Structure 1
């Protein structure tokens, strides 16, 4: 049997009515939850039940209101600023102020630390505050902590409000470093002594954290010590250090001279016989020149003879490479004088000075250049005299200056350091400059010898030591900076926090301009 139609209609409408009642009874959350806004509803189309009064129901709607993040942060910063205003008012004079909510310091400990801060040589103002007083994290994130300021800026904010130069320290109390616990201090002053504020923070955290009493006691003790310039502490030792430095300089210089003199004596054993032989041969050649009545020829002959005699005397007194180099230069000048004498006799203009013949400097100044390939080497252009040029043109070996060393005859340029002064002297222009010597190995040997002698000097050794020290410090600094950048922000308890500084005045009273930062430090623990 089918039910009456009116009961069927009530059976269809009943679930809808129950859903409306449930939505109406839901609680509205506080804060920024959706807020129901009633709107005029339509009357129910359901027919009233016989014997019951009819009722008109409305269906609620919901509208989302976004959170006011900027406003919340502004209000939180204002609250933190007002709190620091209260702290600054309590620290008008140097001393210690502890928030009543901080329970880690007893009244007796607070009084003793306050007396120590007031009696310190540095004007110290120290505040112990809870992290919650300057926490600006949104209230919806109750488990997180974000302080209104970080690092030294917390102490700077207190200085801004007090407005008096001195040492300012803020110990932020919390359950852990991640919750905001840290110790921050700074010294602001345009004149007067600089105190060890940064190292005082480090010592306080390293030795005593998280014991607040011992931390503050160590900070007060270290923070009032004056950071004197290095030269003041080092002055009593300067005389002794200078004496030791002078002694080291003298011993090093003497050792370098002895080592060089020993090597030069070995060179003299080879170069002195060669030059003596050349002086004798050149003297005999000049003595055999025919006499002449021409004044120019007579003057040239006399100049050549005087130059040879000067070379003889210099060689007799030779004691090192500088002497043999000077003798070789004089002999080269004498041979150029003979070339000029020949030109005057032939009625030709005197030639320009040129480099000696590469194969044998005794051949005199070169008259041209030619390509030559040594045994086992590569082709190169060398300065040659007329005789050597003719031999090379005829595919014959040139007349090379051979030197016998240790029972072995070798070309002079292959002896390297032992004949470096001989080569330098002959290839000298006489004005401090030199002609280009074609053999690369001989040039390298001479340069290495001179560089070795220079490196033994006291000044060179001191420069290398200073350079090595600077490199080590630079490497250490670079590694420290990279470690800090890897850590970022708040690091472990033994590392420093990042320090923030602002040149603008805070919202509180006090100083409108910050004095110079003398020292400071910031550590979490």
Structure 2
């Protein structure tokens, strides 16, 4: 009986931790989208917006505002999925504005970039082999696709797990939610030297600049 109560308590604590971490990551994503939309506003001040661009821009703003409300009202991990969905809507609408502004092909509605959802929707699939892992096909944004084709490392979002920072895809499940049980995760997808670089930056109190969030489309 004592074992059962202890196991149930541990499960309850794990669920609470999963929600806390998932909400924290979603809060970061909401903040980044807000910053990206502010930059987009400045970038388009000298551009005459047509009706389609105005609609896409308003869709991005509406999704951002809705995500803020949904995050504020979130009470459990499942609620964070609603926030994530709204953020994807906002990132897609933002990508459409940029494509119309630049006169390029409109993006397809796809999953977020594998390496960092803050990059926006993926534009292509590439074959990628993590160190000590097996080759797999992943969906990435244009900039990360260009980096990989040039033999460079992708712009990977890092999240804190325990006392270390790991790639976000190694600390989240297929829904993009933080998995509380990975506190001792063995990360096989970390590029060579990345963890050493992270530890060095932590030692110099400079880790805050490594969370990603650049324009990936």
CA RMSD, aligned part only? 2.4
Distance 2:9 2:62 in 1: 34
Structure with greater proportional helix content: 2
* Larger CA deviation: 316-325 vs 259-268: 259-268
Matched, 1:398 2:154: yes
Give the match for residue 379 of structure 1.
135
Give the match for residue 423 of structure 1.
176
Identify which of 111, 114, 120 aligns with 1:358.
114
- For structure 1, the residue ranges without an aligned partner over 5 or more in a row are 1-256, 426-525
From the superposition, tell whether residues 388 and 348 of structure 1 become closer, same or farther in structure 2 (CA, over 3 Å): closer
Identify which of 47, 57, 62 aligns with 1:301.
57
Larger relative contact order (CA 8 Å, sep ≥ 6): 2
Distance 1:260 1:306 in 2: 36
Shift of 1:385: 1.2
Give the match for residue 328 of structure 1.
84
Distance 1:310 1:297 in 2: 20
Give the match for residue 281 of structure 1.
32
Identify which of 69, 81, 96 aligns with 1:340.
96
Q: Deviations over 1:133-176 (max 9, x none)?
A: xxxxxxxxxxxxxxxxxxxxxxxxxxxxxxxxxxxxxxxxxxxx
Distance 1:355 1:421 in 2: 11
Give the match for residue 369 of structure 1.
125
Runs of 4+ in 1 over 6 A off after TM superposition: 257-260
- For structure 2, the residue ranges without an aligned partner over 5 or more in a row are 1-7, 179-217
Output the TM-score relative to the length of structure 2.
0.68
Q: Deviations over 1:87-114 (max 9, x none)?
A: xxxxxxxxxxxxxxxxxxxxxxxxxxxx
Shift of 1:258: 8.4
From the superposition, tell whether residues 349 and 399 of structure 1 become closer, same or farther in structure 2 (CA, over 3 Å): closer
Instruction: Tell whether the 8 Å contact from 1:372 to 1:381 is kept in structure 2 after alignment.
Output: yes
Shift of 1:304: 0.6
Distance 1:348 1:327 in 2: 29
Distance 1:421 1:351 in 2: 23
From the superposition, tell whether residues 321 and 327 of structure 1 become closer, same or farther in structure 2 (CA, over 3 Å): same
Give the match for residue 23 of structure 2.
272
Count of equivalent residues: 166
Identify which of 270, 293, 310 aligns with 2:66.
310
Shift of 1:350: 2.9
Distance 1:280 1:270 in 2: 16
From the superposition, tell whether residues 348 and 386 of structure 1 become closer, same or farther in structure 2 (CA, over 3 Å): closer
Shift of 1:346: 3.2
